């Protein structure tokens, strides 16, 4: 949980908030997320997701597309002694990461956003928060 602002340095490194470092261990997986952000998972959570995605039917075009993009962008990262990770260029480009980034906790994953993109998403979603909640009523929330 939580929202933290951090800067991406010129080498593509970002500090992982200490609260998240405790949960992620020294090594974890990042990949392309939805809405042009990056998703980060513990190794255990990544294994669970991988097992679920393996069950998608190969005959479904969208399933093939999604798994290709999701897995081809995945990379294992390690937290250095300063609490930073190096985000590969292809993932920085995908998420449009510039200097100002926002790192948020979302249930079993962490998301890394370009701060301007996060603000746009947040503002747009906040205006519709009640409508979104109403649409999720079928999930017993």
For 83-131, list the strands marked E by DSSP.
84-86, 100-106, 109-114
Nearest partner of 16 among 47, 32, 40, 33, judged by Cα: 40
Domain range spanning residue 131? 3-139
pLDDT of residue 140: 56
Number of domains in the chain: 1
User: The domain spanning residue 109 has which CATH number?
Assistant: 3.40.1550.20
pLDDT of residue 117: 95
pLDDT of residue 1: 84
User: How far apart are the C-alpha atoms of 58 and 62, rounded to whole Å?
Assistant: 9
| Cα torsion angle, 122, 124, 129, 132, sign | negative
| pLDDT digit string (tens) for the chain, length 141 residues | 899 999 999 999 999 998 888 888 778 999 999 999 999 999 999 999 999 998 988 899 999 999 999 999 899 999 999 999 999 999 999 999 999 999 999 989 999 999 999 999 988 887 777 776 776 666 655
Instruction: Give the C-alpha distances (Å, rounded to integers) separating 98 from 58, 95, 124, 130, 135.
Output: 36, 9, 21, 31, 33
């Amino acid at each position: 949980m939580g929202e933290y602002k951090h800067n991406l340095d010129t080498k593509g490194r970002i500090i992982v908030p200490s609260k998240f470092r405790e949960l992620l261990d020294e090594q974890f997986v990042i990949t392309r997320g939805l809405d042009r952000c990056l998703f980060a998972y513990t190794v255990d959570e990544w294994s669970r997701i991988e097992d679920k995605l393996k069950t998608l039917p190969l005959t479904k075009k969208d399933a093939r597309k999604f798994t290709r993009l999701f897995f081809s962008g995945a990379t294992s990262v390690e937290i250095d002694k300063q609490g930073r990770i190096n985000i590969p260029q292809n993932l920085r480009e995908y998420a449009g990461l510039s200097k100002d980034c926002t790192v948020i906790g979302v249930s079993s994953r962490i998301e890394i956003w370009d701060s301007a993109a996060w603000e746009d998403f947040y503002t747009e979603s906040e205006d519709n928060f009640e409508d979104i909640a109403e649409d999720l009523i079928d999930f017993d929330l």
